Chains A and B, each alone.
Chain A
Amino acid sequence: MRIKKLNIGILLFVLVGVVPFAAAFIYALLYSFGIIGVANDGFTLQFWESVITSGTFFKSFGYSFLIALVAVAISVGGALWITLKFRQQLETRFMSFIIYLPLAVPGIVTGFFTFQLFSKGGFFARISHKLGFITEASQFPDLVNDGLAIGIIFSFLTMITPFFVLLFLNVYKNERVEELSILAQSLGANANQISRRVFLPILLKKTWVLIVLYFIFLLGAYEVPLILGQESPQMLSVLIIQEIKQYDLDKISEGYVVAVLYTLIVSVAAILLFLPKRKRAYAT
């Protein structure tokens, strides 16, 4: 009786949690090999060949990878620095409310706001004009929809840095880093040694899975690069959606090739991240 009830729960889990993902993946896979799809007539490797030879995927993947890496590296570094230097100040009532505020801003608003700030007709362009740095809008440097993805990276930073600060503050408290630091001090460690041998290792060890997870989220980010990205290369999600929604039917299949590759990479990352954690063998 008890076993049967549990199985209904597992059945529902598979139905809602596993079947949609499997269906989506199989659909994309079949489409990418031309087995299904409006204009496709049977198995072909043509779309895979063209995606791989044209290098669209690799360019886009590399581009997304770099952007996500730069954004995560800067924000983790910055957040660690803020946690180390401003921990006490951030615990006051006022500050502990303020630092949560950025979490209330969704990606699409961040993208919109960054555009308003940095575009050629935006806030900083107006200020620069007023101050006489530029005389025409076109003279303002490309900070959005630009090749170096400055706008995208800026948006990502504003989105994830506050999160990491809050995360590190939490871990700092829960792992009793304060007490351990005092202990290290009594053992003769100086401030520098404490941050390098106690503070950093504990915080990073406790959070690295989340850091990688946020890297993966940024890799697949959509709204921000949609608003702030350039024509080419594009970040992965934008590229996939653009190709799948095209009228050129070959492109649709190629879009699904990219989708399959992206899903595979993300799934492998999930397996590496979440499978090796061994818990107790069985619970009585």
Chain B
Amino acid sequence: MRLNWKPFVLSLVVLLILFPFVYLVFLSLASEWRFPDVWPSYIGFKNWVTVFNSEAGLLKSFFSSLVISLSVAVFSTTSGFLISKAVFYHPKKRVLTLLAYFPYILAPVVFAACLSFFFLKMGLFGNMTGVVVAQFIIAFPYALLFFSSFWNEKVKSYEDLVATLGGNKWQTYTKVLLPLAKGLILICFFQTFLISWFEYGLTSIIGIGKVQTLTIKVFLFIKEANYFYGALSCCLLIFPPVVLLYFNKRYVFKKFV
């Protein structure tokens, strides 16, 4: 009889996937873990307790990340949806789409470095508004391209139908287009939220360390070699996307071209 190896490989895969999550939580509970020891000398909620007082500023970072990401998601999804209509109904939509791909595939951190002069001149350097604007600039092409497939012939027919039934532009949006696009808009909202939530390089350049989002915190703790707080910030960073995954996988899986 041939040995069925698949269950073993599968179990290994599950373990490998779960391991980082478990390990990061474990690390966030540890402290004073000197080198050769396999087990830390302290395991407990000491680090987590500090989250709730201001000492490490983690709670503050969590909320500034939240505010920034929510703003970026709202602005980019709204503008992406509305502007994509003009772009994808345009006769030259292929060229316009290509233009949107340039900022989309450029590394955000390099983009930010080349833009920082303008942000400085506009007073958007080192403050939250600047970070939101910068992240919006990279999330917008994503949102725009996200809706490209929505504006097809069928949707155009729906729009025409509403017009001949006597509906105006506003009614076309509120009664037909938004209900039709509702699911997509929600997915785009969470995906742009995550683009912002995960962003590090661009935030570090435009925020110059003054805007401390969670990713910035993680990196600061790494530099200070404070790995326990680092792991704790990682946990905070991973928590919201896992919750989103639980509700709908499509909120997290970005697969379009």
Q: How many residues of B contact A (CB 8 A)?
A: 78
Chain A 211-230: CB-based contact to B (< 8 A → 1; otherwise 0) = 00100110011110011000
Among A39-47, A182-190, A191-199, A270-278, the one that faces the other chain is: A270-278
A8-49 Cβ-contact flags toward B at 8 Å (1 or 0) = 111011001110110111011000000000000000000000
Q: Are A86 and B200 in contact (CB under 8 A)?
A: no
Q: Would you call A223 and B201 a contact (CB within 8 A)?
A: yes
Can you list, as one digit per residue, whether each of A254-280 has a CB less than 8 Å from chain B (1) or not (0)? 011001001100110111011101110
Instruction: Report yes or no: A222 in contact with B253, Cβ–Cβ below 8 A.
Output: no
Smallest distance from the beta carbon of A182 to chain B beta carbons, Å? Answer: 21
What is the CA–CA distance of A210 and B77 in the complex, to the nearest angstrom?
22
A271 in complex: contacting residue of B23, B98, B136, CB < 8 Å: B98
Chain A nearest Cβ from B113, distance in angstroms:
5
Give the residue of B23, B200, B218, B255 whose beta carbon is less than 8 angstroms from that of A167: B255
Asked whether B91 lies within 8 Å of A282 as measured between CB atoms, the reply is yes
Could you tell me if B105 and A216 are in contact, using CB atoms closer than 8 angstroms?
Answer: yes
Task: Take A16-B83, A113-B234, A126-B35 as given contacts and tell me if A97 and B113 are in contact as well, using a CB distance cutoff of 8 Å.
Answer: no
Partner of B83 from the list A13, A98, A99, A126 (CB cut-off 8 Å) is: A13
A73 on the interface (CB 8 Å rule)?
no
Q: For chain B, residues 217 to 233, give those with C-beta under 8 angstroms from any C-beta of chain A.
A: 218-219, 222, 227, 230-231
Residues of chain B lying within 8 A (CB to CB) of residue A180: none
- In the assembled complex, how far is the CB of residue B30 from the closest CB belonging to chain A, in whole angstroms? 11
CB <8 Å contact, B87 and A9: yes
Q: Least Cβ distance of B8 to chain A in Å?
A: 12
A89 in contact with B6 (CB, 8 Å): yes
The docked-state distance in angstroms from the alpha carbon of A120 to that of B90 is 57
B73 contacts the other chain (Cβ, under 8 Å)? no
Query: When chains A and B are docked, how far (Å) is the Cα of A167 from the Cα of B230?
Result: 31
Q: Is the interface of B mostly helix, strand, loop or mixed?
A: helix
* Cβ-defined contact, B36 with A17, below 8 A: no
CB pair A126–B17 under 8 Å, yes or no, is no
**B86 contacts A9, CB within 8 Å?**
yes
> Residue-by-residue, is B11-47 near A (CB-CB < 8 Å gives 1, otherwise 0)?
0011001101101100100000001111000000000
Residue A150, interface by CB 8 Å? no
Count CB-based A-B contacts (< 8 Å).
231
- Interface size class on chain A is 35 or more
Do B215 and A106 have beta carbons less than 8 Å apart? yes
User: Is the CB of A121 closer than 8 A to any CB of chain B?
Assistant: yes
Minimum distance in angstroms from A165 CB to a CB of chain B: 10
Q: Which residues of B contact A123 (CB under 8 A)?
A: 23
B234 near A89: Cβ-Cβ < 8 Å: no
B63: A residues at CB distance < 8 A: none
Contact present for A20 and B36 (CB under 8 Å):
no
Specify which of B87, B94, B114, B252 is in contact with A104 (CB 8 Å cutoff). B252
In the complex, which residues of chain A have a beta carbon less than 8 angstroms from the beta carbon of B24? 109, 113
CB atoms of B140 and A86 under 8 A apart = no
| Of B14, B82, B110, B253, the contact of A262 (CB 8 Å cutoff) | B110
Known: A95-B10, A270-B98. 16 other contacts (CB 8 A): A6-B89, A9-B82, A16-B136, A17-B141, A18-B99, A21-B99, A24-B114, A98-B14, A101-B18, A103-B252, A104-B241, A104-B252, A125-B35, A130-B36, A223-B201, A262-B107
